[in-house]
Structure 1
Amino acid sequence: MTQIALPFLFIRGGTSRGPYLQAKDLPSDRGAMSRVLVAALGSGHPLNIDGIGGGNAVTTKVAILSPSKDDWADVDYFFAQVSVGDGKVDYKPTCGNILSGVGPAAIEMGLIPVVGNTATVNIRAVNTGARVVATVQIEDGKVRYDGDAQIDGVPGTAAPVSLQFMDTVGGATGAFLPTGNLIDIFDGINVTCMDVAMPMVIARAAEFGLTGYETADELNENRDFFARMEAIRIKAGAAMGIKDVPTSVTPKFGLLAPAVQGGTIATRYFMPWVAHPSMAVTGAQCLASCVLTPGSVADGMTTLPTTSPATITLEHASGSIDVLVDYAVDAGEITLKSAGLVRTARLLARGELMISKRVLDGL
């Protein structure tokens, strides 16, 4: 036998897609697991030609599921970001878009029983410790994928998957403001370093000479900007206490500008070495939190809500995304309780991923 078979589901979760696997089918050793995931996605080639990746960071993501040992959660969700071109795997971040498919995947895998027209799945995001409640639509005892919900960045409509995120503050660094400051200055650029669902470095687009309304392709072609941004990201990440920043996708980077399409604020999000074609769910929570925080780089760029929970509409490169934030502000300090979003997911394929036995053996 030259190949081994791994059962998998291939799911579009939000504006990302990738294989959803069960932990019991993968090596527990992290090095061996990484070798399997690199081979499965075809990392190491710009087109991922020898795997099922799609040649883009949003299509080389992996969800690994297992029954949770946590008293609150039903399912543990472990996320892996596989690089497109260099054969590396980053386990530091989580992904909220891929998380959109975790509830449906858990049901499809038989990890969650279903009764009625909806299923509530309590998910523990292993990478960050966040708790997420997913509400999945059910029809005739199976996950319903057809529906009227539409999210920017995905064609057509589908059944909604409601997500309520809790315990998202300081998941990676242990602090809401990892540097202890609302504003830091790196290479002459004012930034807010914040850790909500995803550690981020956030700046105003205008400080880079950008409008903040550029397309993802226009930003990707601006290599001078990327060079400046990466230098700042590395310095800010070190100040946030994050290790190995040059080779890690965290912290992510975000830009802000005044809204022009009726939203709360205009945003651009970076993964971080390419511009995101739309918006990450985790990044959306961090950016929305930045908008609500007095004294951050977002201060004065929009009219803040006066009641909580509040809907923050982030304009992005493909449209917009709404984040419902439950929060409180006391003496200028913000306390985040939870954030809610509506996404969609669709099962694209199911079957077996074929991996060379040589990969498991490390040959």
Structure 2
Amino acid sequence: MSNDLTSIPCVLMRGGTSKGPFFLASDLPADPALRDRLLLEVMGSGHPLQIDGIGGGNALTSKVAIVDRPSRSDADVDYLFAQVKVEQRVVDTSPNCGNMLAAVGPYAIEKGLVAGRHPRTEVRIHNVNTGKIILATVETPGGQVAYRGDTRIAGAPGSAAPVRLAFLDAAGARTGRLLPSGNAQEEIDGVAVSLIDCAIPMVMMRALDMGVRGDESPAELNANRALMERMEAIRIEAGARMGIAEAGGKVIPKPVLLSAPRHGGQLQVRYFMPHHCHTALAITGGVGIATAAVTPGTLANTFVGCVDLPVGITLEHPSGALDVGLSRRSDDAPVVASVVRTARRLFEGCVFATSPFSTEARQWTSAA
């Protein structure tokens, strides 16, 4: 092997409908700026195909998970999510990703950070991005992670073993409040919106109010430049009202178009990341939308009506549907949102960088 390349151990994993490399924090630079510089290089960002890196040229395949030993006593591991932009050399750690989250438990068990138990193992994951705890239940017959199974999820081919995720208290993930502006509904640019912060900050709009039906394909919505430009302007103003500074340079808040269900669910949604429509639905988005659906006065609630917990909310999206279970342990307890995902280990090895980074010292050499 050439000695002018730097190797960093990583595992490529699919989590839900996303995929990307998983790293141990100890194998990356401790300084966030240096860490992000390395991630941009290994992912190949700055080129639409990420041709000089391992990114897949799409927001769903340009994601990174960084896993570490826990920094708090009520967690088993820390998980930092990084959205690495494709054409821009930008790393955004402001959001969480619930799909990549599905692979954190299996990764942590196989890395020896959590001991596997028969027949399944619970992993308490501290999402560093939001400061929230998510409980992942992983199938581990004989104490070993099982990937094969009969569970199917919309947006991913085939079947696999289930990974159950329970978001124990997702409200106020970034702003500290479920309704950051204090309003269930308000108006931006003549459009009724609901500003929600649950698992991830979002700005919800009725599709009809934006001049579309809401059942269009992602490609059709992405090609509607007038829609995308108006939605971006609303998103930036929504960010300001939610206390998210300079939202134009961030991937939050996420825009969401709501419409009436067509296939027996409670709500049809189109979720944006934020400048492309998701081909399915982000798990964090699903958790937030479902919670909004049972929050009186929100736009999502106007489609669903009055419901009592526990309840299941089915969200229709471009690839099928996502079922979100909502419950409370008591009347004044936080809402617990539960979803089922799958994950798969794709390959394990080393990714190579040309920058002279020392994994032993976790720093760049003087030649950097």
**TM-score with structure 2 setting the length:** 0.94
Contact 2:294/2:304 (CA < 8 Å) preserved in 1?
no
Which residue is 1:340 aligned to? 338
Which residue is 1:69 aligned to? 71
- Secondary structure at 2:181 match in 1: coil
1:243 deviates by 1.4
Q: Does residue 1:143 correspond to 2:145, yes or no?
A: yes
Contact 2:121/2:137 (CA < 8 Å) preserved in 1?
yes
Which residue is 1:321 aligned to? 322
- Secondary structure at 2:304 match in 1: coil
Distance 2:141 2:330 in 1: 41
Contact 1:107/1:114 (CA < 8 Å) preserved in 2?
yes
In the comparison of the two structures, how many residue pairs are matched? 359
Q: Does residue 1:278 correspond to 2:274, yes or no?
A: no
Q: Residues 202 and 64 from structure 1, CA distance in 2 versus in 1: closer, same or farther, beyond 3 angstroms?
A: same
Which residue is 1:20 aligned to? 22
Which residue is 1:166 aligned to? 168
* More strand, by proportion: 1
1:305 deviates by 2.8
Q: Name the stretch that deviates more: 134-143 or 8-17.
A: 134-143
- Secondary structure at 1:289 match in 2: helix
- Secondary structure at 1:287 match in 2: helix
1:283 deviates by 0.5
Q: Deviations over 1:191-238 (max 9, x none)?
A: 000100000000110101111101111111111100000000001100
- 1:66-105 to structure 2, matched below 5 A, reads 66-105=68-107
Letter in 2 for 1:353: V
Distance 1:329 1:233 in 2: 34
Contact 1:68/1:74 (CA < 8 Å) preserved in 2?
yes
Which residue is 1:266 aligned to? 268
Question: Identity across aligned pairs (percent)?
Answer: 45
- Secondary structure at 1:288 match in 2: helix
Structure 1 stretches of 4+ moved >3 Å: 327-330, 358-363
Q: Name the stretch that deviates more: 337-346 or 139-148.
A: 139-148
Q: Does residue 1:110 correspond to 2:108, yes or no?
A: no
Q: Residues 280 and 65 from structure 1, CA distance in 2 versus in 1: closer, same or farther, beyond 3 angstroms?
A: same
Contact 1:325/1:336 (CA < 8 Å) preserved in 2?
no
- Secondary structure at 1:114 match in 2: coil
- 1:32-47 to structure 2, matched below 5 A, reads 32-47=34-49
Distance 1:298 1:14 in 2: 24
Q: Name the stretch that deviates more: 4-13 or 352-361.
A: 352-361
Contact 2:82/2:91 (CA < 8 Å) preserved in 1?
yes
Distance 2:284 2:116 in 1: 27
**TM-score with structure 1 setting the length:** 0.96
Contact 2:328/2:335 (CA < 8 Å) preserved in 1?
yes
Contact 1:158/1:344 (CA < 8 Å) preserved in 2?
yes
Which residue is 1:175 aligned to? 177
- Secondary structure at 1:113 match in 2: coil
Distance 1:5 1:358 in 2: 10
Q: Mind listing any 5+ residue stretches in structure 2 that lack a counterpart?
A: 358-363
- 1:52-63 to structure 2, matched below 5 A, reads 52-63=54-65
* Selected match of 2:235 from 233, 236, 239: 233
Contact 1:258/1:302 (CA < 8 Å) preserved in 2?
no
Distance 1:284 1:109 in 2: 29
1:297 deviates by 1.2
